[in-house]
Each structure stands twice: as structure tokens, then as C-alpha cells.
Structure 1
Amino acid sequence: MAGKVTVGAEKVTQKSIAARIDGEEITVGELDGNLQFVLHDIAEMEHKLRLNKLQEIIAKTTEVGKDIEILLPVPEPPRIELPYEGRSVRGNPEAPVTIAVFCSYQSPHCKSFQPMLRQLLNKYPGWVRQVNFDFPLKFHREGIRAATSARCAAEQGIFWEYHDALYTKTPDLGAETYSQTARHLLMDGNRFVSCIEEGGYRDLVLQDQDIALQLGLQNVPIVFINGLYLKGKRPFKQYAYWIEKELVKLDIDPKQDHAWIQTKNNKDRLPVTNLPLALVGISKSSVESKSRALIEVEGQRAQYFFPGQALLKEVSLKRLQEGYAVIDNRGTVERLPLKGEGQNVIPLTSSLQHDESLRQRIEQPQGAQGKKLIDPDGVLTLGQAWLAQQLEQREALEAKFIKAELEVEGHHLMRLEGVADNEFFTALGFEENDVLLRVNDSWVHSGQNELWNALTSGKVIDVAFMRKGLPHRLQYVVEELGYFEENSEE
């Protein structure tokens, strides 16, 4: 290296001069700005080492029953700003806390992270929302194409259902996976395939990738909670800690219910609109962006509207509830009641939680003292029309269940054979030689198989199975898609 190089040994602060190059100064703060995530990772490692040593000391020197107060401060993550505009949102679109996730659809780590995200949304309904950033890694051959296909699904209004379905197939992604997923979600297949082949969304995926690289991100998943950096998959309590800290900063009690889920109270409080609108029918979906309403505007023939669409000048449909619509009338929130108050509601299957007693029977089949099942690997949405078509071949599908060696309740468990190229079982996330264990709270064996009844029950379905000696669990939601498309000309 040409020129003179000298090394200093002063105490380092953010204002310390790290170097002078031809008289131009570079401060430590400037360096740290480019290394903020790496330095935080190091700070977290130091904190973990200190905490482990502290726990060793406590275990050796503290008598049982004594009060212990740990005051070791948790390193504050760096905070950044991210562009959220135009992204699909899961949860309350106006939630005060945003969970931004950088992931790749071909990453097994991102796949295993999905149950954690669902837990957080269920724990803080209304208070948090999730947005997705695409970060396909270089060695993920299908990473960019998978992310592009998800944006094509968003074009048809079913981003999150498609997002969840892809992660159940990870890492085995490809053209057939995308088209098959589109079929069972009742998408416009030609439009979907054209969208992928034209690559119109590829640039947006690469823009997300550039954001990640400019931030210095290297692996996935990476989470930002209101911009606070959290690297890698962590225990639930760590995410909850930062979410609750953000809520407290906003003077919000994390244990308080959000008005977003208090639909009955909302109905009582909202004034009824006097606008020339008539709500003829409601199609309420578990996915808010897919809920829609038949509304007569100024006495004209009823048309269907989605949340966010304009009804009149400066008037838009805000959201749908059971029996009424919430509208934004020039900044004032009002209620548009359904004609007949409860009549003509067109219900769709809702992916709500099971009731408490059923949930306990599902998750702890051996009772309160038994081992609890793992969290679901994913939640798959199935189009009702697609499912009905598949079940026309029920006899052939049932023939794919072969007796396994293990027994339960005096009967053999059932193993899947010859399903590798079968659209029905592949769409449900099953593979060759999977052994089904339970459907909801019932065992699957040679004496009974509740899968068929469950799929036509109109309720969320919970399936547990074994694959290569390891337990897995999936949930299915059957949606009655396409009602308005079929009836809008009447």
C-alpha cells in the first residue's frame, strides 16, 4: 500500500476519527452506520454469553426460594424504515405494529418460521400486521420465479393463500407446483401462467432483493418489528417482547382487545349512513381482502365491491362484518346495514380457531398429561369447486390408503401409496408413504377415515401425519370461491 499508515490507540466513541484519507475524515459513527446489523449480532452474542454465565452463578450460589432479579439489559436492535406501500397485508391493515419478513419461498428455514408468524398474529389480533419482502438467495434456483408467481397470485386477490400453499411444498418448487396450486385455489389459470411467463413482477422481486442486499442481509428469515432488526428464527417470547414494547410506547395495553375484533361493539357504536346505498348481500371470507358485498349505488343494479373500493366520490367500502358493511364517508366511519338485518348473508368457511375443547383434543390426543402435537406446518386454502371435482373420484382416492404396520385402537394405521403424481394428495401436501394419524380429533385407521367428511364439513380441518419417522401437521380451509362471479349477471 502506498503512503504512510499510522495506528492510534485512543478510547473509541461514535465521533472518534477512524481514519483520514488525504485529509478527509472518516468517523467511527460512519463505519458503524454500515455495520449496524453485524454489530448488533455481536452485541446479542455478548449478551447471551453474559446471561449464560450469570445463570451458572445463580445455579451454584443461590439457595432455593430466594428472590432473583436479573438486571442485565437486553441490547436494543437498530431501527430502520422500510417501504410498505402496495404490499399485501395479513391482519389488520391499520395495525400499529408491522412485522416485516424477508424470506425466500425455497428456504426450509422460512418454511419452519411460518407457524411462529401465525402464533404472533393470533396472539395480538388487530395490533399487528404482517407484510412480506422477497429475498430469494442466490443458490435458490426457484426463488425468483416462486416469488414472481406469488405476486401473480396477488394480482388475482389470493396472495396469502398462495403464499401459505407454496411453503407447504418447500423446497420442491417448480412450474407444476405453481400451476397445480393455482388450480386448487380456483385461479384463472391462463392469466396466471401468462403472468409468470411475461415476468412482469420479476423487477419488483429484484427490487426487494436489492433492498435486502443494500441493508447487508445475508440469510433468511429476517424480521423487522416496526423497523427493529431481529435476525433468524427466535423463541416466541422474544418477538412478543419487542411487539409489546412497541405497543407500550404507544400507550397501548397489549392485553387489551383491539376494536378490529370487537365486531358486535363496533356495530352498536357506528352511526347508520344516510347515503343512497343498499347492501344486498355479503360474502364474508376468512381472508379480509376476499370478502365482498353486493351493493346498490344510487338505485342502480347491485354490483359487487371489495374492501378498499370506491362506492361514491370520497366514499369507500372499508370492511365487512356479519350483517353490515363499514364505509368511509369522507373520513367518517359509518355502518351500512344489510337489507333485512341478517338475511341474504352468503357465508364462507372461516379459518377461525377450533373451539377450546376440540383444540385440546386435537393437540393432546392422550389427554392433558400427553405430549402436545407440534404446531401446524402450514394452512392450505382449497377451492370448494376444485375439491368437489376431486372428490368425484373418491373411490379411486380411497384406494391410495394402504394398511401400515402400526396399529391403534385395534386397527392398522393407513399409509399413502401411489400418490406422487396425484393432484388431490399433492395439493393437500402429502407425499408417498406418509402415514396419516389423525383428522381433527379422530384417529385415521383401517376402521375409520374421517378425512372425507371433514373436507365437506365447512369447518377448518386439522390433519396430523408421519413422514420418514417425523410428525407433521397441516390445516385446511375450504373456501366457497367465485359466488359473485357466477351470479353477477342475474
Structure 2
Amino acid sequence: MEKRKKLKGTWRTNFKSEQTGFIARGHFWFLAFLLMASLVFSPPFVEAEVEWRVLKNLDLNAKPLDIATSTDGKWLFILTPGEVLIFSVPEGTISDRIPVDKEFDRIAPLPRPDLISLTSGTKNSLQVIQFAPIYAFDLTSLPIKGPQDAFVTLAVFDDYQCPYCARLESTLRQVVEKYPNDVKLVIKHFPLSSHEYARKAAVAALAAGRQGKFWEIHEKLFASQNELNDAKVDSIAGEIGLDMERFKKDLQDPAIASLIDRDLKDGNRANIPGTPAVFLNGKLLNLRGPDALYQAIDAELKKKKK
């Protein structure tokens, strides 16, 4: 790097002061020029009123001490003495309440949307709370593998052209085999718009389900996910012994399309990050492999024994 040479004597001092004065004067005239230009060239100021309306009134039945919003904008946390109210922004309702010590008087979001922090100005204490929303999905008219009254329900949002969904299939089969009396598996269809044939495949699966062949076609659709088209689906339907006339008719039934639309709505309401999305008794799992799924199921089953 080239350095500036030092100057000696009073000449350096005088030069510096003159230079500083020149720069200051130049800076003043430059600002004056900008001000005049803004007055001449800027559009005329138009006075405007503000339109507003109240979107929601909440009766908290307690004095609010502080509020915070989750980083994803989905939740509003309202701290009251001894309680945190969790308000769902999309649904416009208070979905749950978390009991806390009355000493806490401040609440703040953390970088993860499932974490909040509580602090107390009087006792100099801090508490971090992790919460997980539990969703009640409508599972009516969907095929179920496992006992109807199983303690654990695995609801999986799937896409037949999603490679990660295909990889999960072997794990899900192992789960049902390992917990034959305690786990039931339900497929919720969430065809992504980026996958051209995913929705048609979901319609075909539900249509086959009307003939008691959902799980057979479900497995074969995933096995053929890279070559799905109308001809391939017809071929699979013939392989598993479907009544083709009835199958073709059911493919056009609006009731099947409505089931898929319902699943899409449920998935969007739960803000699923993509497919596959696995919910254990309504709670979204962050899967890191088969062992993580087994651990989550075992932890849930321990609640049954209490």
C-alpha cells in the first residue's frame, strides 16, 4: 500500500487548515445546492389522510405487560401476570396459554420462530421457552394403515414426485411394523405446483382407495415417480387389479379433488416447510433420520403410560 509522505514545519499546518476550510466551504455549498435542487425538481407535496380500521379486539381478562411477535409473523405472544397467551395471526384466535412465574415482566422473540425469552426486571432472571403448535387435522375419508384407535397418529404430507418422500417410505413401513398396536399412518396429499403430475397421482391414489387398493398404488406410484404420466398410472392400475371403468369414473369425481384441496389447506395452515412433513399427534417433527422418528414415538407413548 502506498503511504502519504509526511510534511514538515508550519507549512504543513497552514496547508491543513486552509484545506479544511476549503472542504468545509465546499461542503456547505454542496448541501445548499442539494436543498435548492430538491425544492425545484421534487414533485409538489400532496396532503393525504390515513384510512384505518380495527381488525381485532381481544378480551384478555388480565393486564398485558408486554407483547412480542414470532420471527415468521405467525404468532403473537402476550405476556400477562403468570401467563403467556399465544395468538395465532392466521386464524385470529388465542390458540393456547403457557403458565409462567409472575415475576416475569418482559417478553422477546428469539431467532427461531418456536422460541421466546422471558425476563424479570425485579429478580434479574431469564427464561427461554420452546413451544410447538399442535394441529387438529381432518382425517376423514383418508386411508389409514394401523389400528383406528392407535395412541399415536402419524400424518404425513406427501408429494408423489418428491424424491425425499420416496426415501421416507421404507422408514414409515418399518414404523408400522414396529408399533402394530400403537401407531396409525395417514397420508395427507400436498402436491407441489413445481411437480407437473403430483396432483394427478394423488387423485389416482384416492380413486384406487375406493376399491381398497390405496396402499398398493401408493407404493407403486413412488417406485415410478420419475416416469409418471397417464399411461403409466393406467398400467399400475391394471397391475393391482382395479376395475378400470370405475377407476376412470372416480378420477373425475369432484369429491376426490375436494379432499386434496382440504389437505393443501391444512398444510398451508400448519405452514409446512415442504414435503415430506410428518406430524406426530398434530405436532410437526424435525426429522434427522429413522432413529429420531422412533425416539419421538417412544416419548409420546410414555404419556400413555402415565
Q: TM-score, normalised by structure 2?
A: 0.59
In 2, are the aligned partners of 1:104 and 1:137 still within 8 Å (CA)?
A: yes
CA deviation after TM superposition for structure 1 residue 17, in Å? 3.4
Q: Which of 228, 250, 272 in structure 1 is aligned with 2:304?
A: 250
2: CA distance, partners of 1:202 / 1:102: 16
Report % sequence identity.
Answer: 27
CA deviation after TM superposition for structure 1 residue 40, in Å? 10
Residues 15 and 180 of structure 1: CA distance in aligned 2, closer, same or farther (over 3 Å): farther
CA deviation after TM superposition for structure 1 residue 142, in Å? 1.1
In 2, are the aligned partners of 1:100 and 1:223 still within 8 Å (CA)?
A: yes
TM alignment of 1:73-472, pairs within 5 A: 77-231=132-286, 233-251=287-305
Amino acid at match of 2:77: V
1: CA distance, partners of 2:158 / 2:151: 22
Structure holding more strand per residue: 1
1: CA distance, partners of 2:252 / 2:168: 29
SS at match of 1:42: coil
Show CA shifts across 1:20-44 (max 9, x none). xxxxxx95347863499xx999378
Q: TM-score, normalised by structure 1?
A: 0.38
Residues 27 and 156 of structure 1: CA distance in aligned 2, closer, same or farther (over 3 Å): closer
Residues 40 and 207 of structure 1: CA distance in aligned 2, closer, same or farther (over 3 Å): farther
CA deviation after TM superposition for structure 1 residue 82, in Å? 1.4
Match of 1:42 in 2: 112
CA deviation after TM superposition for structure 1 residue 214, in Å? 2.1
SS at match of 2:200: helix
Match of 2:14 in 1: none
Show CA shifts across 1:389-415 (max 9, x none). xxxxxxxxxxxxxxxxxxxxxxxxxxx
Larger Rg: 2
Residues 157 and 40 of structure 1: CA distance in aligned 2, closer, same or farther (over 3 Å): farther
Residues 144 and 172 of structure 1: CA distance in aligned 2, closer, same or farther (over 3 Å): same
2: CA distance, partners of 1:74 / 1:121: 33
1: CA distance, partners of 2:151 / 2:257: 30
1: CA distance, partners of 2:270 / 2:145: 24
2: CA distance, partners of 1:196 / 1:185: 16
SS at match of 1:99: strand
Highest RCO, 1 vs 2 (Cα 8 Å, sep ≥ 6) = 2
Match of 1:483 in 2: none
In 1, are the aligned partners of 2:159 and 2:190 still within 8 Å (CA)?
A: yes
Residues 197 and 79 of structure 1: CA distance in aligned 2, closer, same or farther (over 3 Å): closer
Match of 1:16 in 2: 66
Amino acid at match of 1:229: L
1: CA distance, partners of 2:260 / 2:277: 16
SS at match of 1:85: coil
Structure holding more helix per residue: 2
In 2, are the aligned partners of 1:102 and 1:134 still within 8 Å (CA)?
A: yes
* Structure 2 portions without partners, runs of 5+: 1-47, 51-63, 70-74, 79-84, 96-108, 116-127
Show CA shifts across 1:4-63 (max 9, x none). xxxxxxxxxx962359xxxxxx95347863499xx9993789xxxxxxxxxxxxxxxxxx
Matched, 1:33 2:88: yes
In 1, are the aligned partners of 2:114 and 2:132 still within 8 Å (CA)?
A: no
Paired positions, count = 207
Amino acid at match of 1:193: K
Residues 243 and 191 of structure 1: CA distance in aligned 2, closer, same or farther (over 3 Å): same
RMSD: 3.3
CA deviation after TM superposition for structure 1 residue 218, in Å? 3.7
In 1, are the aligned partners of 2:76 and 2:88 still within 8 Å (CA)?
A: no
Show CA shifts across 1:88-108 (max 9, x none). 111222211100001111111
2: CA distance, partners of 1:116 / 1:98: 15
